[in-house]
């Protein structure tokens, strides 16, 4: 009589078609092992599915629940899995509280094939609506039927907490208003009791209002003038950049270079004035997060390498893998100023960028071999409109606002500034930044000189800008780099031009503020839908507001502020193509 194992063996061998007895003996142990592994893996996934904290279900796109785990049954308040699956025969009517929410969910799912962090409300068995967050995928079954696989998190308590906080804030505001009214009343009584000071106080109040009005008018003027000035300056900078890259006669080349320097001086002055105004009005709010220094320093090295080479200087950097906690944009502003000054005031030699670990902080240092600063003048370099007599650049002049801005930013971020200098030998400017809690082991990585492969040759680029001068300038500069360029003043014109020329862009460069209150970000999204491609895009704008910066970050769109520096534009295009 055969044993049970022999029968099992015969069944397996008959399934796979093995021939003789020796062959069966050779493969049987391995097959049994694989079957055991598959069974163990199946049980493991089943355990995870049944014991997951988040709800999980699979359903038809517009119909019934196909499968679900205990967590989603509990979230929706059903007594058992069977009652849940049998009760939900149409998820849009019986699971979603709001049919419009389901339509939007269905639209996103059909468009992108997946949805992450979609917040809506589910209908519980007892009729109560609860807040949930959904991650979902749209899949096809072997028979071609589309199904939804969703992961659900109950965020009702979080929403309630938010509502309570909002209510507390409203109550606090009411108390503040009430207390303010009391103080105003007391102040009025004080005015009545001190009659001798009444006239003086009125005059001071009028003077204060006049000063505040004048200050607000100045800010409004600077904000309006900045956009009006930056637009033509941007066009001029792009045209000059195109001319600088052409072979011109020596006399013409010299004149173009002088115009380039004059435009850079004007741009630096305007940018510094805007930054000083924003910092003094406390309009700049830091966005603190954790990030690696490596990418920040690589971008700085890539931006200033051509500038240093053009002046005959050696720019070296040692990149650190340390993680710091700061506002990356404002920290970049500090480091950029240090490097720019080091190159500007160094006639020969080199500039070195490096990082040094100082306990729980990282010191980012910029060394140069320039003229240095007298010890008794170190305290003056951070004052507005202060430039040392022996510390001026040969060709490019500033107005002494750069380090004043750096000091204000450092104070806002609570970062310490360090300066060492030896007159006639060089200087070291540094900023100390806190290390992140999730800091990994520090190591120094030698800097690789940035390479710019010829990726722009015949690159299809679509430029959208409502300013004709900027469109012409961008076309001239990009064409000179070898790009295949199409220009348009609006989204509709861009669609027409591309359709007419059978042109499919690989990169879109879009101005943010277009005519008729239209936005470049909307144009990018609509053009991606028009072409059916996720085309990389860059926003070009003179708007430096925090709201715009947050919007671009949410949309995942890189941004270049006007006036656009050609070197940064080319570096960004090359970076996009290398992704």
CB contact at 8 A, 145 and 59: no
| Cα dihedral value 468, 469, 475, 478, nearest 10 | -140
Mapping DSSP to helix (H, G, I), strand (E, B) and coil, where does residue 284 land?
Answer: coil
SS3 content of the chain, % helix, strand, coil (to 5): 55, 20, 25
Instruction: State the 10-residue block means of pLDDT for the chain, 579 residues long.
Output: 50 50 63 75 72 85 85 90 87 87 90 91 90 91 86 89 89 88 82 75 77 62 58 69 69 66 63 62 74 83 82 87 86 87 89 90 92 77 58 49 79 88 88 78 40 72 90 88 92 93 93 90 93 92 80 90 82 83
Distance CA 95, CA 98 (A): 9
Distance CA 385, CA 403 (A): 10
Nearest to 150 by CA among 270, 214, 57, 32: 57
- Tokens 């929706």 map to which residue? 76
Q: Which residues contact 300 (CB under 8 A, 6 or more apart)?
A: 317, 332, 335, 336, 339, 353
Return the DSSP state at 376. G
The CA–CA distances, whole Å, from 408 to 242, 274, 305, 391, 404 equal 36, 13, 27, 22, 6
Per-residue pLDDT, 131: 93
Per-residue pLDDT, 7: 52
Distance CA 416, CA 317 (A): 21
Q: Which residues contact 357 (CB under 8 A, 6 or more apart)?
A: 322, 363, 435, 442
Per-residue pLDDT, 330: 83
DSSP 18-61: --SHHHHHHHHHHHHHHHHHHHHHHHHHHHHHHH-SSEEEEEES
Per-residue pLDDT, 522: 94
Per-residue pLDDT, 457: 86
- Tokens 């100023």 map to which residue? 337
Per-residue pLDDT, 519: 92
Sort 101 into a burial class: Cβ within 10 Å, 0-12 / 13-18 / 19+.
middle
- Token couple for 479: 């064409």
Per-residue pLDDT, 231: 65
CB contact at 8 A, 346 and 396: no
């Amino acid at each position: 009589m055969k044993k049970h194992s022999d029968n099992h063996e015969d069944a397996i061998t008959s399934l796979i078609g093995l021939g003789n007895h020796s062959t069966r003996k050779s493969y049987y142990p391995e097959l049994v092992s694989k079957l055991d592994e598959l069974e163990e893996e199946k049980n493991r996934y089943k355990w995870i599915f049944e014991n997951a904290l988040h709800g999980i279900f699979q359903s038809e796109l517009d119909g019934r629940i196909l499968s679900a785990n205990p967590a989603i049954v509990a979230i929706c308040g059903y007594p058992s899995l069977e009652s849940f699956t049998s009760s939900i025969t149409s998820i849009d009517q019986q699971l979603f509280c709001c049919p419009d929410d389901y339509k939007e969910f269905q639209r996103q799912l059909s468009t992108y094939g997946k949805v992450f962090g979609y917040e809506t409300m589910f209908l519980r068995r007892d009729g109560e609506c609860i807040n949930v967050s959904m991650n979902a995928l749209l899949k096809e079954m072997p028979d071609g039927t589309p199904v939804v696989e969703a992961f659900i998190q109950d965020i009702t308590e979080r929403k309630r907490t938010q509502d309570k906080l909002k209510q507390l804030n409203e109550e606090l505001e009411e108390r503040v208003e009430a207390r303010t009214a009391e103080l105003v009343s007391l102040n009025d009584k004080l005015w009545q009791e001190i009659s001798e000071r009444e006239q003086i106080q009125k005059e001071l109040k009028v003077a204060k209002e006049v000063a505040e009005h004048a200050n607000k008018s100045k800010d409004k003027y600077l904000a309006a003038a900045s956009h009006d000035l930056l637009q033509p300056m941007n066009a001029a900078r792009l045209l000059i950049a195109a001319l600088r890259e052409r072979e011109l006669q020596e006399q013409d080349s010299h004149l173009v270079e002088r115009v380039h320097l004059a435009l850079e001086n004007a741009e630096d002055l305007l940018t510094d004035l805007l930054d000083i105004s924003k910092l003094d009005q406390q309009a700049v709010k830091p966005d603190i997060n954790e990030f690696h220094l490596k990418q920040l320093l690589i971008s700085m090295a890539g931006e200033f390498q051509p500038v240093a080479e053009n002046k005959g200087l050696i720019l070296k950097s040692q990149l650190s893998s340390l993680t710091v906690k700061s506002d990356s944009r404002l920290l970049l502003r500090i480091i950029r100023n240090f490097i720019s000054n080091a190159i500007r005031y160094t006639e020969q030699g080199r500039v070195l960028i490096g990082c040094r670990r100082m306990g729980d902080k990282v010191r980012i240092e910029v060394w140069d071999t320039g003229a240095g600063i007298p010890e008794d003048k170190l305290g003056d370099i951070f004052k507005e409109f202060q430039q040392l007599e022996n510390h001026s650049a040969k060709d490019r002049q500033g107005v002494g606002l750069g380090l004043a801005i750096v000091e204000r930013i450092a104070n806002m971020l609570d970062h310490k500034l360090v300066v060492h200098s030896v007159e006639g030998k060089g200087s070291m400017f540094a900023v100390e930044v806190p290390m992140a809690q999730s800091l990994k082991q520090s190591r120094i990585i030698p800097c690789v000189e940035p390479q710019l492969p010829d990726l722009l040759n015949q690159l299809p680029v679509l430029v959208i800008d409502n300013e004709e001068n900027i469109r012409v300038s961008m076309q001239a500069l990009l064409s000179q780099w070898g790009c295949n360029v199409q220009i348009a003043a609006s989204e509709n014109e861009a669609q027409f031009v591309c359709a007419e020329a059978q042109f499919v862009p690989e990169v879109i460069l879009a101005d943010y503020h277009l005519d008729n209150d239209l936005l470049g970000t909307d144009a990018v999204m609509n053009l991606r839908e028009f072409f059916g491609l996720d085309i990389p895009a860059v926003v070009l704008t003179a708007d430096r507001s925090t709201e715009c910066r947050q919007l671009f970050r949410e949309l995942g769109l890189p941004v270049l502020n006007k006036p656009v520096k050609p070197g940064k534009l080319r570096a960004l295009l090359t970076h996009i193509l290398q992704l």
